Amino acid sequence: MSYKQFLETGKIVATHGIAGEVRIQPWCDEAEFLTEFDALYFDAAGKTQRTVERARVHKNVVVVKFKGVDSVEEAQSLRNQIVYIDREELELPEGTYFIQDLIGLEVLDADDPQTVYGTLCEVSQPGANDVYHIRRPDGTENLIPAIPDVVVQTDLDGNRMFIRPLKGLFDDED
């Protein structure tokens, strides 16, 4: 599986104050995550890099001051810009994945790998745990909780996820 090196992590939605700061709406689990980077990128190829002078969380957005952006007018020119991070600048804990890497995985039965449930097409985050949306071959969708009792193994290199569904998750299988 080929991974995207530069990952979308938010969008500049507004300016903040008059000193060139911008507000970034984070597209990650925790807004604080975006404050950890020394640089953010403005394209998926990583060609347009901006050095972060400082960053902090303020009311569920991340307020960032980029080096060389010193006025509200310069900050305004960055509005609606998507920001990216370089995946090589961080290390995820074991068993943690980027949502973009999970989308498209083939979902198989952990006990009978010949049984294909479908393709992971979406991840929703309603609360205590993520929910994986599995698109069946007939186009219908099933939802499974992303918990260790259900998700047995995630094999990004093999483009597969092995699950042990709870009773009732795939009613037509019983």
Here the CATH number for the domain that contains residue 116 is 2.30.30.240
Cα–Cα distance measured from residue 15 to residue 78, given in angstroms and rounded to the nearest whole number: 9
Q: What domain range is 110 assigned to?
A: 99-168
pLDDT number for residue 150: 93
Burial 46-78 (b: 16+ CB within 10 A, else e): eeeebebeebeeeeebbbbbbeebeeeeebeeb
Do 65 and 74 touch, CB atoms closer than 8 A? Answer: no
> What is the edge-to-edge ordering of all strands in the sheet holding 151-155?
141-145, 131-135, 116-124, 106-109, 160-163, 151-155
**Residue 94 domain-assigned (yes or no):** no
How many domains, the chain? 2
pLDDT number for residue 126: 78
Alpha helices in the chain (DSSP H): 72-76, 99-102
Q: In Å, how far from its chain's centre is CA 60? A: 17
Kindly state whether residues 72 and 34 are assigned to the same domain: yes
pLDDT number for residue 97: 82
**Residue 61 domain-assigned (yes or no):** yes
pLDDT number for residue 35: 93
For residue 21, the SS3 value is: strand
Q: Average pLDDT of each block of 10 consecutive residues along the chain (174 residues)?
A: 80 95 89 92 94 94 96 96 90 80 93 94 84 93 92 92 86 54
Kindly state whether residues 104 and 82 are assigned to the same domain: no
**Residue 108 domain-assigned (yes or no):** yes
For residue 140, the SS3 value is: coil
Q: Which two tokens stand for residue 129?
A: 């745990």
pLDDT number for residue 172: 58
Q: Assign residue 34 the CATH number of its domain.
A: 2.40.30.60
pLDDT number for residue 4: 80
